[in-house]
């Protein structure tokens, strides 16, 4: 295989390589008598891309330059990273590259990419062939009931409202409207995510033919990649799809020069379950509000007859503060004093302290009075301390 690509078309080839790199890590190349096919497949086998360059895309094209007995063209697989190294800056390649030559080195089993740039600069890349085989995906695009032709700007602006963390998008199509929304798993907490939904009318599209109303869900990563490819080439995007579970085909083509097919697997979006989960979340929110209001009202009430040991056994609270009125505390202190006096008058010996029943710590107010006892005495006069030396100087002078 040997072909020459003019500088203007080298830019298109570079854009194609960058778009396919967002689908898969390996690039399959196959030369046929009238075209060259570039294919790739992602690791999960849920996204497939194929770009077909017709014979008029090249200034020179020979699919079996190194002829064999079976007269078959080139079938090989190369690394996607190697292809990206050749087309590092596709946006400026038409201004720098005058011609690109691709040929096969039959002796060393390598593909040779020779870029002839301005001012006589020639860049040659030798890409190793990983395998000599082709890849083909089975899908239909002509007999599907639903077809939409849209300017890439409409869908790009719609996706601009979605979050970068969204993984999948759902299309709900009917004869009246097309609804795009981000897919949310029902197992995720709906209070921590953003729900986005956009409704588009049929008049906003160039072509809108929906025979079977359906809802499909597919990945956003590959969808953004093909939209960027269509935007870079300023070409419309065609959608061909059937129903849930069947692949959706996106087509970008430029007349008779080249045609790109992007096939994405679809999954069912259970909107009813999502609505149920949303209602469940709302119910939980109302329950939390009710519980918080009851807790708030309970905190306002003084806890007079609460057993401290029971409060310490509760797992829901780490600390339980109990406000004891001063009058109740004084009554308890007086009763405890009477009991102690009775025990002393009876002359009975104190029983050993029970380790299982440790008495509670003294109240804060009693602790302060016991430490600063003299300050609370009614006969204490601070003026009597005037002139008294409470602590001598440590220095001799």
Tens of pLDDT, residue by residue over 343-360, are 444 444 445 555 556 555
Q: Has residue 34 got a pLDDT over 80? A: yes
Would you say residue 114 lies in a domain?
yes
The pLDDT assigned to 373 comes to 65
CB atoms inside a 10 Å sphere around CB 16 = 24
Task: Tell me the pTM.
Answer: 0.67
Q: What per-residue confidence (pLDDT) applies to 274?
A: 46
Q: How far is the CA of 276 from the CAs of 152, 288, 308, in angstroms?
A: 34, 18, 43
Supply the pLDDT for residue 109: 85
- Residue 24, in any domain of the structure: yes
- Do 102 and 45 share a structural domain? yes
Domain end among 217, 247, 269: 269
User: Do residue 16 and residue 131 come from a single domain?
Assistant: yes
Q: What is the percent of the chain with per-residue pLDDT over 90, rounded to a whole number?
A: 42
Domain identity same for 106 and 233: no
With residue 172 as reference, give the H or E element that holds it.
Answer: strand 168-173
| Residue 151 domain-assigned (yes or no) | yes
- Tokens 């790009």 -> residue: 156
| Residues 41 and 48: beta-carbon distance below 8 Å | yes
User: DSSP letter at 185?
Assistant: -
* CA-to-CA separations, 59 to 4, 54, 205, in angstroms, rounded: 6, 11, 35
| Residue ranges making up the domain that contains 169 | 138-269
Q: Is residue 120 domain-shared with residue 64, that is, in the same domain?
A: yes
Number of folded domains in the chain? 3
Residue 152: pLDDT above 70?
yes
| Mean pLDDT value of segment 327-332 | 48
State the average pLDDT over residues 246-255. 92
Neighbours of 225 (CB within 10 A): 19
User: Of 137, 157, 178, at which residue does a domain stop?
Assistant: 137
Q: Which residue's structure tokens are 């697997």? A: 265
Which pLDDT band, with edges at 50, 70 and 90, does 133 fall under? confident
216 close to 241: Cβ distance less than 8 angstroms: yes
Higher-confidence residue of 28 and 90: namely 28
388 domain-assigned: no
Helices 220-233 and 152-159 pack at an angle, to 10 degrees, of 140
pLDDT greater than 50 at residue 313 = no
Rounded CA gap, 243 and 340, in Å?
Answer: 88
Distance of alpha carbon 69 from alpha carbon 252, whole angstroms: 36
pLDDT of residue 333: 47
């Amino acid at each position: 295989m040997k072909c020459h690509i003019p500088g203007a078309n080298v830019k298109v080839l570079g854009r194609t390589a960058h778009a396919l790199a967002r689908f898969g890590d390996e690039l399959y190349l196959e030369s046929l008598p009238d075209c060259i096919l570039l294919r790739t497949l992602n690791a999960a086998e849920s996204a497939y891309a194929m770009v077909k360059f017709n014979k008029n895309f090249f200034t020179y094209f020979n699919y079996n330059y190194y002829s064999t007995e079976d007269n078959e063209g080139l079938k090989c697989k190369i690394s996607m990273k190697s292809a990206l190294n050749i087309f590092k800056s596709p946006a400026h390649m038409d201004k720098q590259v005058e011609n690109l030559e691709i040929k096969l080195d039959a002796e060393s089993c390598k593909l040779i990419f020779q870029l002839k740039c301005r001012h006589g600069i020639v860049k040659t890349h030798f890409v190793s062939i990983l395998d000599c085989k082709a890849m083909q995906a089975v899908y239909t695009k002509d007999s599907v009931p639903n077809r939409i032709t849209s300017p890439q700007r409409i869908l790009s602006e719609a996706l601009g409202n979605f979050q970068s963390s969204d993984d999948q998008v759902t299309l709900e199509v009917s004869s009246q409207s097309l609804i795009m929304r981000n897919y949310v798993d029902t197992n995720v907490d709906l209070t921590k995510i953003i729900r986005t939904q956009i409704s588009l009318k049929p008049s906003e599209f160039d072509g809108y033919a929906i025979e079977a109303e359906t809802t499909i869900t597919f990945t956003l990563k590959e969808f953004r990649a093909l939209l960027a490819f269509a935007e870079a080439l300023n070409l419309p995007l065609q959608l061909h799809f059937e129903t849930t579970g069947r692949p959706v085909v996106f087509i970008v083509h430029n007349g008779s020069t080249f045609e790109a097919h992007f096939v994405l697997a679809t999954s069912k979006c259970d909107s009813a379950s999502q609505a149920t989960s949303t209602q469940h979340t709302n119910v939980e929110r109302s329950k939390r509000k009710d519980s918080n209001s009851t807790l708030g009202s309970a905190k306002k009430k003084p806890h007079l007859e609460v057993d401290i040991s029971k409060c310490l056994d509760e797992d829901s609270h780490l600390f339980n503060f109990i406000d004891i009125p001063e009058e109740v505390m004084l009554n308890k202190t007086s009763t405890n004093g009477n009991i102690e006096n009775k025990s002393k008058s009876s002359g009975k010996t104190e029983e050993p302290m029970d380790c299982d029943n440790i008495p509670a710590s003294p109240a804060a107010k009693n602790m302060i009075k016991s430490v600063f006892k003299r300050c609370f005495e009614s006969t204490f006069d601070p003026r009597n301390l005037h002139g008294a030396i409470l602590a001598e100087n440590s220095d001799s002078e």
